[in-house]
Amino acid sequence: MPLAMVVGALLCRPLADVEAASQNMLTPMLIASMLFFTFCRIDLREMRLRWIHLAMLAVQIVGGVVVFLAVRPLLGDIVAQGAMMCVLAPIAMASVVIAGMLGANVAPMVSYSLVCNLVTALVVPPILHAFGNGTCTFVEIISRVAPTLIAPFVVAQIIRFVLPRVAEWFARHSSYSFYIWLFSLVLVMGRTTAFIIDTEADIVIEIELALVALVLCLAQFRLGRYMGERSGDRVAGAQSVGQKNTILAIWMSLNFLNPIASIAPTAYIVWQNFVNSYQIFKFSRNKHSVADSNKA
């Protein structure tokens, strides 16, 4: 994952051109494909909403507003808006994939990701109306979420019912979704780097936005891990609270807030993927250590 980010940063211009040529559809298509593999493993009967999901929604919605109000007097409107989006953004589509690789129970996470993104589409427009330019609507946000999250889930469940052997094949090969995610990460980092280079903003504000994003990223992963421990799955908790749909957050920032504020969720992409890289490395190392001890 760090290598994917480095490659994306180095090839930012040609990758940005590729995304532009696809009318910015390539990354959403990759994310939808990645989720389809994972969703083929999910049985609807296993999906449950839990009390912890309500607590996570409270952290996201209430926390986003609290962070804005706390940061604004210290660092100004732009940094406060960027900080708010790092918390207010819903759970990332890829979090289910990463959590599955780390051994989490992904069925409740799928339930939460669907509900979280729908609640975000309902609740966020009034918040952006209060702190932004006041033009965001439910339809605009849900139109960004539905093709990449809801559509692959519905298709996967239909195939599970109509063509169970096909669904079983995708479920057995769900590890492929990680490599699709790596490719999409290269594209996202390319667009991110090109955006940061082209942004005409005060360097001090850019640094403040990046540092605020780092602090909030680490804090949310830690808080999610704590909440997950309380509910019996700390990995799912950490990914549900810490890994954010930064693509949606960047889009909302660019369209409904000061565009410079989008640097914060842009930086969050880097920080959360460093966290994910470390978690995957640590999980893999522990898994190999257990295997070696069993052989001994």
Three-state SS across 152-219?
HHHHHHHHHHHCHHHHHHHHHCCCHHHHHHHHHHHHHHHHHHHHHHHCCCCHHHHHHHHHHHHHHHHH
Q: Is the dihedral of CA 198, 208, 92, 284 positive or negative?
A: positive
d(CA 5, CA 209) in angstroms, rounded, equals: 19
Query: What is the structure's pLDDT at 202?
Result: 80
Residue 290 has pLDDT above 60, yes or no: no
Q: Lowest-confidence range among 18-22, 114-118, 286-290?
A: 286-290
Asked if pLDDT for residue 212 goes beyond 90, the answer is yes
**Single pTM value for the model:** 0.80
What is the structure's pLDDT at 216?
95
Would you say residue 209 has pLDDT above 90?
yes
Looking at every residue in the chain, the average pLDDT score rounds to 82
Q: Which two tokens stand for residue 61?
A: 């919605």
Longest Cα–Cα distance in the chain: 64
Domains in the chain, CATH or no CATH each: 32-176+203-269 (1.20.1530.20)
Number of alpha carbons in the 13 Å side-chain half-sphere of residue 80: 16
